[in-house]
Amino acid sequence: MKKYILSITVLMSLIQLFAKEPSAWLFSYMSPDKDNRGGLSYALSYNGKDWKSPSWKHRKFLDGGYAYKGQMKLLDPFVFQDAEKNWHVLWTAANINGYIGHSTTANRDNVVNWMRKSYPYFGIDSQITNPIAYTSRKGDSVVEFKTQDGDFYRTTTRDFKKFTPLKKISQRDYEASCAKLIKNIKLDSEELSGSINPLSEEQLEILKADGEWKKIASWDKVSQRSKDDESRFSGIEKLSVNVKADAKSKKKISDMLIGIFFEDLNYAADGGLYAELVQNRDFEYSNRDRWDLNPMSFWSVSGSAKHEVKTDSPIHENNKHYISLSLDKADSALVNYGYSDKENPPAKTLGIAVKKGQKYNFSCFVKGDIAKTDVVLADAKGMELAKASFNSSSKDWKKVEVALTSKDTSGDVSLKLVPLSKGEICFDMVSLFPQNTFKNRKNGLRADLAQTLAELSPKFVRFPGGCLVHAISGGEMNFYNWKDSVGALEARKPIPNCWGYHQTRGLGYYEFFLFCEDIGAEPLPVLAAGVGCQNPGQQAIDMKDMPQYTQDILDLIEWANGDPNTSKWAKLRADSGHPEPFNLKYIGIGNEDLISDQFEERFTMIYKAIKEKYPEIKVVGTSGPFAEGVDYREGWKVAKKLDIPLVDEHYYVAPGWFLYNQNYYDDYDRKGPKVYLGEYAAHIENRINNIETALSCAIHLANLERNGDVVEMSSYAPLLAKRNYTQWKPDLIYFDNSNVYPSTDYYVQKLFGQNSGDIYIPTTLELSEERDGLKERVICSVVCDSKSGDTIVKLINMLPFESEVNVDLSFIKGKKDVVKTVLSGDYSDQDAKPKESRTKLGGRFCEKLPPYSLTVLRFKK
Ligand code: AHR
């Protein structure tokens, strides 16, 4: 018996020995990143000698940027496994004294799925560099590092949260440890230095399948492009498809699926949707906005008058600068070309655009001893298109208003203020608005642009950003404080826009809410979660200031929904002209933030305060800038922990991503937080919109409809871009001072927005061919709109040939009037527009889908 037990023990040890034999070795090193943010990359070897990249070379498995307290980069990642086989990475935390960076993975088998970084502090007044670690005989993790002051330290830990007191060690000891732990390898003849760890079979498999990316399609599929479709599908001339609806399995879906996301980027607000025609009306432009801007930008003074920008006794402390002219004779004018750069040739945009017969409201604040001033609209040849006069003499600031009617249409007009006698005169808040704004609102929106947005039939509007809500400007937190964007225009606080220009905030919270009301969309304001944008390095509001910051957010809800008789904030709304509540239902907290401890602490505080005081408000959380990765996982973790109603996801991806990730939401937990896909777009080279980008998004939208029981809202991003003044492409709608140019992606959003439903009817598709990639490119989505009783069928054919589709919707009885809209073109077509026709169809019909097309059939009740 003893013998028997002994041989079992020997056998077990042998098994264990074999089990311990690594399947491969993992080399971990710092990604040689262009912008020097570093990051963690891997190489793999099956023999410990020859190394290759597990996916593509230098791919980052964990970003080294976006650290803590606004610091930019984490460097020198050192990866090791502790005694319990947990993975750790230690980093140099650059530009900050006393900290290191640390992260661990979700579980032991996974070297891909890194979790949120933490920043252990060691109380040393010097930057710590090159931390390394190994396991002691007792099973503790021993950490050693050096400092920029030339000292060397050792400490031990079990959990990387608590550490034993630092012990100074000699340089020799530290270097001896490094010699054992830091190795040099060659990857494609490139010399790299880093750490080497053995990988078990499971770990290797997970790494090879890209672990967390498992549900995301592989790169070779995602990178498929329409230009290769002819050869990809050569030999196929036509496809036959049978579509059968299963009305019994219908399900309720969100009736809020399609909305818009407005951010003042690409001159979307000032010079864009906001109808003000005078640029720098308040003389508040400054080099804080951009290095080349100043209070006189976009203004000039003709004639012999002397001018000065003054700040003493301004109209309001938020609006300090104004212009003072002093004239010895009446030969001068103050000139503004509007949102143009005529003053800075070669001009990319001409002057103010006016239309024949249209009326314009001029207003300004004035003071001085000149009795009368003319206001003139002149075209490029100096021809007066409109003229009026106003009494300009006043000891104190006074507001004057006159209306002008333009005699002609011109896109190259200047506004001139012409004092008619000698003396001194001061102007501020010089403004010119078309009377024809959207819904004729004063201080309103450009009618053509707002109408183009309204035609999307958005169910909600997210505003005012994006990065803009929690911007860092000039290294400082420059959050969009809603309180500074409401009330009298002259008292609003202009701020630098993080996209490199100036925000007047004439289009502020009040105007955003009015616009939502005007187009029947729910307002979705987004506020910073107490932390700044992660791109320049996350900064956070001091915890001692968080109660006030949280209160400001509660005040917004009060402003929007409160009773003016009892609430000071609601009274401000009423005084602006809206005594009725705006009926705010949603509020976004955070924008694709780094999900750090400081984020979670602040977000939780705000979330709990809103939940306690306004339980009816749906808070939208955030899950980082990508469809995977640390922030995505950690953001969802926070959302689930706090049971947040919705999570805002963002991803800008290749068109193929949408084709090969059609099941992305299929396994999302239907009982957990709902999804708001707040920013997405298909990006291709030169960042243009064309039929390829538009149809790939159409496919995604069809999948969002199919998952409309978990995806509650979505918005393409960004929305608006002024031609020649665009910081980010692609966008949904382009414009200049006179025209609007909707993109191909716009038409897709419009077709989905105008043809949304609240009930989804599943369909099955049978294709006459089985070649790889076909089924991902022929998609059908059927929804019913219970309000109108209409049924809508959307058919997408993203193939280079026609698809003949036999559709069986036998739940539709009898012939119905059908509105048919088709958007099609060559995959590279940037100008395609939808064509609408009318027909009659029954529940069974055959539809020939043109190559690269979206067909929408709306069956009238
Ligand atoms: O949509 C443009 C920018 O993309 C947004 O400001 C930001 O949220 C994202 O990174």
Q: Which ligand 1 atom sits closest to the C-alpha of 718? A: 1
pTM for this predicted structure: 0.92
Residue 314 confidence (pLDDT): 97
Q: Which two tokens stand for residue 778?
A: 């022929």
What is the residue with the minimal CA distance to atom 6 of ligand 1?
A: 466
- Find out whether 466 and 265 touch, Cβ atoms under 8 Å: yes
Does ligand 1 come within 6 angstroms of the Cβ of 626? no
Q: Which ligand 1 atom sits closest to the C-alpha of 678? A: 8
714 DSSP β-pair partners: 258, 677
37 sits in the region (left: phi over 0; alpha: psi -120 to 50; else beta) called alpha
Instruction: Using alpha carbons, select from 547, 769, 527 the residue that is nearest to residue 648.
Output: 527
Mutate to test the pocket of ligand 1, among 66, 260, 263 (most ligand atoms within 8 A of CB): 263
Does ligand 1 come within 6 angstroms of the Cβ of 467? yes
Distance 594 CA to ligand 1 centre (A): 14
Cα 501 from Cα 517, distance rounded (Å): 28
Q: Which ligand 1 atom sits closest to the C-alpha of 679? A: 1
Does ligand 1 come within 6 angstroms of the Cβ of 466? yes
Instruction: Tell whether the torsion through CA atoms of 623, 628, 631 and 634 is positive or negative.
Output: positive
Mutate to test the pocket of ligand 1, among 462, 467, 533, 591 (most ligand atoms within 8 A of CB): 467
Does ligand 1 come within 6 angstroms of the Cβ of 652? no
Distance 609 CA to ligand 1 centre (A): 27
Does ligand 1 come within 6 angstroms of the Cβ of 487? no
Q: Which ligand 1 atom sits closest to the C-alpha of 591? A: 8
Does ligand 1 come within 6 angstroms of the Cβ of 678? no
Residue 70 confidence (pLDDT): 58
CA–chain centroid gap for 236, Å, is: 40
Reply yes or no on whether 592 is catalytic.
yes
Q: Which ligand 1 atom sits closest to the C-alpha of 467? A: 6
Q: Which ligand 1 atom sits closest to the C-alpha of 468? A: 6
What is the residue with the minimal CA distance to atom 4 of ligand 1?
A: 466
CB neighbour burial string for 559-595, b if at least 16 within 10 angstroms, e if fewer: bbbbebeebebbbbbbebebeebbebebbbbbbbbbb
Strand runs labelled E in 315-369: 322-327, 333-336, 352-354, 359-368
Instruction: Tell whether the torsion through CA atoms of 32, 35, 36 and 37 is positive or negative.
Output: negative
Does ligand 1 come within 6 angstroms of the Cβ of 268? no
Which of the residues 144, 511, 592, 692 is marked catalytic?
A: 592
- What one-character DSSP code corresponds to residue 491? G
Phi and psi torsions of 580, nearest 5°: -75, 150
Contacts with 392 (C-beta within 8 Å, 6 or more apart), sequence order? 366, 368, 370, 371, 372, 373, 400, 419, 425
What is the residue with the minimal CA distance to atom 5 of ligand 1?
A: 466
Contacts with 841 (C-beta within 8 Å, 6 or more apart), sequence order? 815, 816, 818, 857, 859
Q: Which ligand 1 atom sits closest to the C-alpha of 592? A: 8
Does ligand 1 come within 6 angstroms of the Cβ of 54? no
Distance 41 CA to ligand 1 centre (A): 26
Does ligand 1 come within 6 angstroms of the Cβ of 649? no
Mutate to test the pocket of ligand 1, among 623, 728, 732, 733 (most ligand atoms within 8 A of CB): 728
Instruction: Using alpha carbons, select from 670, 778, 584 the residue that is nearest to residue 253.
Output: 670
Strand runs labelled E in 246-383: 251-252, 260-261, 299-302, 306-310, 322-327, 333-336, 352-354, 359-368, 372-378
Does ligand 1 come within 6 angstroms of the Cβ of 726? no
Distance 467 CA to ligand 1 centre (A): 6
Does ligand 1 come within 6 angstroms of the Cβ of 731? no
Distance 591 CA to ligand 1 centre (A): 8
For 417-461, write each residue's pLDDT tens digit.
999 999 999 999 999 999 999 999 999 999 999 999 999 999 999
Tell me the one-letter amino acid at 557: I
Does ligand 1 come within 6 angstroms of the Cβ of 498? no
Distance 466 CA to ligand 1 centre (A): 5
Q: What is the largest CA-CA distance in the chain?
A: 121
3-class secondary structure, 489: helix
Instruction: Tell whether the torsion through CA atoms of 173, 179, 181 and 182 is positive or negative.
Output: positive
Does ligand 1 come within 6 angstroms of the Cβ of 428? no
Does ligand 1 come within 6 angstroms of the Cβ of 550? no
Does ligand 1 come within 6 angstroms of the Cβ of 465? yes
What is the residue with the minimal CA distance to atom 9 of ligand 1?
A: 466
Does ligand 1 come within 6 angstroms of the Cβ of 592? yes
Mutate to test the pocket of ligand 1, among 503, 592, 626 (most ligand atoms within 8 A of CB): 592
Distance 263 CA to ligand 1 centre (A): 8
Contacts with 611 (C-beta within 8 Å, 6 or more apart), sequence order? 619
What is the residue with the minimal CA distance to atom 3 of ligand 1?
A: 466
- Find out whether 733 and 694 touch, Cβ atoms under 8 Å: no
**CA angle 343-348-352, nearest 5°?**
65
Residue 53 confidence (pLDDT): 85
Q: Which ligand 1 atom sits closest to the C-alpha of 263? A: 6
What is the residue with the minimal CA distance to atom 8 of ligand 1?
A: 466
Distance 652 CA to ligand 1 centre (A): 9
Task: Give the residue ranges of the chain where pLDDT is below 50.
Answer: 6, 8-18, 211-214
Distance 532 CA to ligand 1 centre (A): 13
CA dihedral 387, 392, 398, 401 (to 10 degrees): -10
Distance 371 CA to ligand 1 centre (A): 50
Residue 67 confidence (pLDDT): 56
Tell me the one-letter amino acid at 106: A
Distance 733 CA to ligand 1 centre (A): 16
3-class secondary structure, 296: coil
Q: Which ligand 1 atom sits closest to the C-alpha of 261? A: 1
Strand 260-261: give its sheet, edge to edge: 260-261, 460-463, 522-527, 586-589, 618-622, 646-653, 674-682, 711-714
Residues belonging to the chain: 861
Distance 445 CA to ligand 1 centre (A): 23
Cα 403 from Cα 333, distance rounded (Å): 19
Contacts with 263 (C-beta within 8 Å, 6 or more apart), sequence order? 463, 464, 465, 466, 467, 468, 717, 718, 719
Does ligand 1 come within 6 angstroms of the Cβ of 624? no
Distance 746 CA to ligand 1 centre (A): 18
Residue 211 confidence (pLDDT): 44
Distance 52 CA to ligand 1 centre (A): 35
3-class secondary structure, 601: helix
